[in-house]
Structure 1
Amino acid sequence: MKFSINTKTLLASVAAAAFSLLAQANDAKNLDELLNQLAQGQIAQTEENKAREAQFTARKSEQDAMLKQAIGERDGQIQLSAQLENQFQDNELALANQTDALNKRLGELKELFGVLQQVAGDTKSKFQNSVISSQISGRDVFLDEFAQSMGSTSKLASIEEIERLWFELQREMTQSGKIATFDREIVLADGTKTTTAVKRVGSFNLVANGKYLEYINETDSVAELMRQPVNRYLDTASTLSDASNGQVAFALDPTGGSILSLLIQAPSDRERVDQGGPVGYVILAIGLVGLLIAIERFISLFLIGAKVNRQLKAPAASDDNPLGRVLMVKEQYPNADTETLELKLSESILREVPKLQSRLTIIKIISVVAPLIGLLGTVTGMINTFQAITLFGTGDPKLMAGGISQALVTTVLGLVVAIPMVFISTLLNTRSKGIINILQQQSAGIIANRSEKGA
């Protein structure tokens, strides 16, 4: 590198001299002047070169001095590094000896402090999930600092810290057996915040305004559950919120919210129906139609049966009931022979049968079709399940839950509609046949009377 720089400098000097000589040559008028100019230029160039050489020599000496200084500093740093390494090793040995001596002196106290650290960590986790922290905040800060100080720096616990740990454990145990009321800002289900009276049932549940609450440790906030349990549990929460003393029935979650969170995740009846999809809605629509027809038939047959019973007790025939219209046939044909009268009565009964059995076939068809539609929904749901397995595999069961839910819910809905329809169809059919049987009995009696008179 040094040689390259000096060579460049020398070439630059030679080039500058050459340009200078050429400039002087251009100013010369004859050969003698040119020769003199060349001689003078050579002399000037020699002196300039000597000055440059002297400057170069001086710089070389300066660079040698800087190099020696750098080598000296390097050797000094190497020596210092060796000294520090030796000192570090000595410190490690001394620290190990001091640690061994400390462990020997601690003896059983070391196990005690280890247990204290473990208890502090476990208690901190418990306090973070405890609803008591919604009323008494900041307890986990001390436990966190206590556990970290003992674990990271091997600091020995003081009497005050041990007593503080015992106090927090005792307070948690004491508060878990009390029902406390305190004012606290809560987050409602719609996202708004309000300050209200909150009742804490031990370390189990929080309620306010007849609804269950949850404590969120990450934000140190109390929020209303987005979904509340069914009404029979909410009624106990309302009773507890309104009560000031005495004993009240309350739906308690002994797990501190785990069972409640699972309970509110269970789908409601409306959500179960929605899981059936379009097939489920079709089944319910058919069931509703069948129920309306069944109600109409029950009322109609009940009224007809009442009129027929009255007609049985009445001396004169009336045309407002099937039996009365059948009995009027005898009056319309007083002189007809037995065979003719029998045919006329049979014709009258046949006219009444369609009215008595009207729309009963539809109910019977619904009782048969409903489970078939449920089976259709089952097949559709299983197809969706296998499509999800094909696309995403079986790693996540939630991807298959939709199809399985549809398959099961439609089957249930089909059976729920079909089973009552079977009973209803049987009852209505029995009722209508009972009325028809009365008509046939009375018709047979009329024919028997006519035969006796004719004989």
Structure 2
Amino acid sequence: MRLLTIITLISCIFSIGPVSAESLTHLAQDHKRQEQIHNEHREATFKQSEANLRLKKQNLQKKKRALQKEIDQLTKKFSQNEDKLARLEKKLSLESGSLGEIFGVVRQNAKEFQSGLSNSVTTADHAQFNSVIKQIVSAKSLPSLKQLTDLSKAFAEQIYASNEIKEIKVPFINHQGQKQTQSVIRLGNLALIGKNGYLNWDSNQHEAVSYLVQPDMSPTVATLSPLLAGNTQYLPVDPSRGVIISQLANEPTLADRLKAGGVIGKIIIGLLIIGLIIAITRGISLSINKQKIRKQLKTPDIIGNNPLGRVLSVYKKDEPQTVEALELRLLEAVVDEQSNLDKGLSMLKLLAALAPMLGLLGTVTGMIETFQVITMFGNGDPKVMAGGISMALVTTVLGLVAAMPLLLAHNILSSQSESIRNILEKQGISLVATQAEKDGRQSLSGKTA
């Protein structure tokens, strides 16, 4: 402020030019009075501000004392409430006794009861207490007397329903996805039976659908009419309430099992079919030849078109033969017939040996595929490895199944062929002996003559 006054005086001196000392004195005194007035105004302002701050401080202190008093009162009241709450809790504990344990038991039983109702068919026509059971399960406090009474009624209702065999109407979803009402028969709490067999009941959606696969001799509404009339009737029942029936859809069919064998499985089946065709063809041929041979044995003079007839025709030739030549000719005929009798048996034996080897190849291929899947996806999910394992096992089974009938057929056909060959050899030896006797008599008669 003083600096501003000095600057003002200097500016005034330079502006007005030369002045007297008296004028400067009056000018300085005027500025001094103005400065004094300004200072007095500032002091008054400071004093007023100080008074206002002092007043605010007094008000704040007054409020602080009031708040402290209120805090003390609330603290005292809180302590009193804590003491009162402790006395009430003690009184509640004494008066309730073992109600807390009873509530735990009630809630646990209600939870188990609710879990049992989740897949029970009795909810199709007995579900009026489900809301009460849900309230008890989710409650955080002691159940009321009405809730306990309704829970006991729910238990009694389910007990009576489990003994009922009655016809009811339920919402039904057909295979086209259309919803309709259908008359069904409820067998206690075990099953619902519709027009085509057992029904899968969804208690959450409150609707029924048919199982994908029905068990053998599955009952229907039509077949259970005597049971509704009070007569005794035996029928298959799923004690697991549909779990076993639903698993029937997961059971693979024969076509599914053959498909799991892959290309190697199809090759094994093809070998089996070819082997069976060969076995059947050769079996029919050997049976026919055996019958012809039996007929030929009964009529040895009539030479027929059969293995034994062709062997006998060697002996019946007109030109005379020595014993050695006849023996060789008969041996040649038996060998020719034996080659015809054994036709196809070597191939049958080869197929019987090849089938299990292909099965082993399929087993190794399936395991390689399984290890590749494990490398890519890990072994956390067994379903990922099921394809390779199925191929490994199915091809092994197919190889053994194909080999066993082919080996059996080869053994049977070989026995029949061996039997026919024995007959031919026996008849050939008989012819050689007859020729030898004839030559012996001729030589003896020649010596006698």
Q: TM-score range by the shorter chain?
A: 0.7 to 0.9
Aligned to 1:14: none
In the superposition, relative to structure 1, how do residues 84 and 386 fare at CA in structure 2: closer, same or farther (>3 Å)?
Answer: farther
Alignment match of 1:124 (pick from 97, 108, 114): 114
Contact 2:289 2:306 in 1 (8 A): yes
Alignment match of 1:244 (pick from 195, 209, 225): 225
Contact 2:136 2:143 in 1 (8 A): no
Contact 1:317 1:325 in 2 (8 A): no
| Runs of at least 5 residues in structure 2 that lack an aligned partner in the other structure | 1-44, 441-449
How big is the shift at 1:416? 0.9
Q: Is 1:436 matched with 2:418?
A: no
Aligned to 1:115: 105
How big is the shift at 1:83? 7.7
Alignment match of 1:451 (pick from 410, 413, 436): 436
Task: Give % identity.
Answer: 35
Aligned to 2:349: 364
Q: Is 1:173 matched with 2:139?
A: no
How big is the shift at 1:297? 1.8
For 2:168, the aligned partner's letter is F
Contact 1:128 1:140 in 2 (8 A): no
Aligned to 2:37: none
Contact 2:170 2:207 in 1 (8 A): no
Q: Give CA-to-partner distance per residue, 1:339-398, whole Å, 9 cap, x none.
A: 222222222222222321221112111110110000001101111111122222222222
Secondary structure, in 3 states, of the residue corresponding to 1:186? strand
Contact 1:200 1:206 in 2 (8 A): yes
Alignment match of 1:313 (pick from 298, 305, 327): 298
How big is the shift at 1:86? 7.5
Instruction: Name the larger-Rg structure.
Output: 2
Secondary structure, in 3 states, of the residue corresponding to 1:117? helix
How big is the shift at 1:265? 2.6
Aligned to 2:189: 203
In the superposition, relative to structure 1, how do residues 93 and 428 fare at CA in structure 2: closer, same or farther (>3 Å)?
Answer: farther
Secondary structure, in 3 states, of the residue corresponding to 1:447? helix
Take 1:140 and 1:109, find their aligned partners in 2: how far apart are those partners?
Answer: 23
In the superposition, relative to structure 1, how do residues 344 and 105 fare at CA in structure 2: closer, same or farther (>3 Å)?
Answer: same
Secondary structure, in 3 states, of the residue corresponding to 1:320? coil
How big is the shift at 1:164? 2.1
Aligned to 2:393: 408
Take 2:275 and 2:71, find their aligned partners in 1: how far apart are those partners?
Answer: 97
For 1:339, the aligned partner's letter is E
Secondary structure, in 3 states, of the residue corresponding to 1:237? coil
For 1:340, the aligned partner's letter is A
Q: Is 1:133 matched with 2:120?
A: no
Q: Give CA-to-partner distance per residue, 1:228-287, whole Å, 9 cap, x none.
A: 15xxx331435x751212333322222223333344433233222222222112111211
In the superposition, relative to structure 1, how do residues 88 and 309 fare at CA in structure 2: closer, same or farther (>3 Å)?
Answer: farther
Aligned to 2:251: 266
Q: Give CA-to-partner distance per residue, 1:302-352, whole Å, 9 cap, x none.
A: 122111111111243343321122212222345222222222222222222
Aligned to 1:6: none
Contact 2:121 2:186 in 1 (8 A): yes
Q: Is 1:220 matched with 2:201?
A: no
Contact 1:236 1:249 in 2 (8 A): no
Aligned to 1:157: 144
Take 2:281 and 2:108, find their aligned partners in 1: how far apart are those partners?
Answer: 73
In the superposition, relative to structure 1, how do residues 211 and 362 fare at CA in structure 2: closer, same or farther (>3 Å)?
Answer: farther
Contact 1:301 1:356 in 2 (8 A): yes
Take 1:86 and 1:355, find their aligned partners in 2: how far apart are those partners?
Answer: 121
Contact 2:293 2:307 in 1 (8 A): yes
Contact 1:317 1:327 in 2 (8 A): no
Aligned to 1:41: none
For 1:112, the aligned partner's letter is I
In the superposition, relative to structure 1, how do residues 220 and 289 fare at CA in structure 2: closer, same or farther (>3 Å)?
Answer: same
Take 1:270 and 1:83, find their aligned partners in 2: how far apart are those partners?
Answer: 87
Contact 1:103 1:110 in 2 (8 A): no
In the superposition, relative to structure 1, how do residues 81 and 400 fare at CA in structure 2: closer, same or farther (>3 Å)?
Answer: farther
| Runs of at least 5 residues in structure 1 that lack an aligned partner in the other structure | 1-56
Aligned to 2:18: none
Take 1:281 and 1:199, find their aligned partners in 2: how far apart are those partners?
Answer: 46
Q: How does 1:14-53 map to 2 (within 5 A)?
A: none
Q: Is 1:291 matched with 2:281?
A: no
Alignment match of 2:405 (pick from 420, 426, 429): 420
Take 2:207 and 2:247, find their aligned partners in 1: how far apart are those partners?
Answer: 21
Aligned to 1:52: none
Q: Give CA-to-partner distance per residue, 1:1-28, whole Å, 9 cap, x none.
A: xxxxxxxxxxxxxxxxxxxxxxxxxxxx
Take 2:120 and 2:76, find their aligned partners in 1: how far apart are those partners?
Answer: 53
For 2:123, the aligned partner's letter is S
Secondary structure, in 3 states, of the residue corresponding to 1:181? strand
Count of aligned residue pairs for this structure pair: 390
Contact 1:326 1:345 in 2 (8 A): yes
Q: Is 1:395 matched with 2:380?
A: yes
Please give the TM-score of this superposition, normalised by the length of structure 1: 0.75
Please give the TM-score of this superposition, normalised by the length of structure 2: 0.76
Alignment match of 2:90 (pick from 83, 100, 106): 100
In the superposition, relative to structure 1, how do residues 143 and 305 fare at CA in structure 2: closer, same or farther (>3 Å)?
Answer: same
How big is the shift at 1:145? 1.8
